[in-house]
């Protein structure tokens, strides 16, 4: 579902300066300074309305979380949700930017974990290059992920999931915890996205895996 464009949205987002960065290229290599610590960095690509990342940051104060989103109207919901959560440890930040420019935002080996949650599957073959698990995108991720880093991937689209499994393996990742129905088992994810909550309520299976860089 597309969100309507909000008049003056970028001006409204300016009130979140310090939480949200509009020119993330300017803060590359400065993450320790921004968070005032050297804790591990976990990044969600396409953070949506922020439910997942805010919940994770609340539960895991020893991790620094960064949400990347390219749509200002969506980012508006995410930063507001985080502000309402009143995170005392301030271990969350947001970037308004694009996933394909990740190397412009983070230095080599700076990210310990990436989250790809319910990314657009772009089902038509002619749109394959837009998928966040397209081989070229996986190569970009490798440039910013540290040794033994992980990518946690969730989707409701089986075809996209199976495409991504093959893409991970072909690009040298090893796979673990592959499931075709995440919420049918005992082990569950720490937090759910807005999409996931809705899908689970409808009885729709969630596909999930973890991809690890082979050291």
Q: What's the pLDDT at 197?
A: 86
Q: What's the pLDDT at 202?
A: 87
Domain locations in the chain?
25-213
CATH number, span 25-213: 3.40.50.150
Cα–Cα separations (whole angstroms), residue 174 to 137, 140, 177, 210: 16, 17, 11, 8
Q: What's the pLDDT at 131?
A: 98
Q: If we measure between CA atoms, which residue out of 143, 151, 44 comes closest to residue 93?
A: 44
Q: What DSSP state is assigned to residue 128? A: G
Q: What is the pTM of this model?
A: 0.92
Q: What's the pLDDT at 86?
A: 80
Q: What's the pLDDT at 2?
A: 47
Q: How far apart are CA 200 and CA 90, in angstroms?
A: 30
Each of the 215 residues of the chain gets a pLDDT tens digit; together they read 445 566 678 888 988 888 999 989 999 999 999 999 999 999 999 999 999 999 999 999 999 999 999 999 999 999 999 988 887 668 999 999 999 999 999 999 999 999 999 999 999 999 999 999 999 999 999 999 999 999 999 999 999 999 999 999 999 999 999 999 998 865 556 688 888 888 888 888 999 999 998 76
Q: How far apart are CA 74 and CA 50, in angstroms?
A: 9
Looking at 86, 120, 156, 181, which residue is catalytic?
120
Q: What's the pLDDT at 66?
A: 98
Please list the residues that pair with 207 across neighbouring strands.
Answer: 155
Q: How far apart are CA 191 and CA 55, in angstroms?
A: 6
Q: What's the pLDDT at 187?
A: 58
Q: What's the pLDDT at 165?
A: 98
Q: What's the pLDDT at 214?
A: 77
For the chain, the distance separating the N- and C-terminal CA atoms, rounded to the nearest angstrom, is 40
H or E element that contains 55: helix 51-59
Per the annotation, the verdict on 98 as an active-site residue is no
């Amino acid at each position: 579902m597309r969100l309507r464009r909000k008049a003056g949205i970028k001006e409204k987002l300016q009130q979140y300066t310090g939480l949200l960065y509009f020119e993330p290229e300017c803060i590359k290599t400065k993450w320790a300074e921004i968070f005032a610590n050297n804790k591990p960095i976990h990044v969600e690509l396409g953070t949506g309305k922020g439910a997942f990342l805010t919940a994770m940051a609340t539960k895991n104060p020893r991790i620094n979380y960064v949400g990347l989103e390219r749509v200002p109207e969506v980012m508006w919901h995410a930063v507001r949700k985080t502000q309402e959560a009143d995170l005392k440890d301030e271990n969350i930040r947001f970037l308004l930017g694009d996933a394909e420019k990740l190397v412009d935002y983070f230095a080599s080996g700076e990210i310990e974990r990436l989250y790809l949650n319910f990314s657009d599957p772009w089902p038509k073959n002619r749109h394959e290059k837009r998928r966040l698990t397209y081989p070229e995108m996986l190569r970009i991720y490798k440039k910013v992920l540290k040794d033994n880093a992980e990518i946690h991937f969730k989707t409701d689209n089986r075809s996209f999931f199976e495409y991504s499994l093959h893409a991970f393996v072909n690009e040298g990742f090893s796979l673990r915890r592959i499931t075709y129905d995440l919420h049918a088992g005992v082990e569950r994810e720490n937090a759910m996205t807005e999409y996931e909550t809705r899908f689970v309520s409808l009885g729709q299976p969630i596909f999930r895996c973890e991809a690890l860089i082979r050291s």
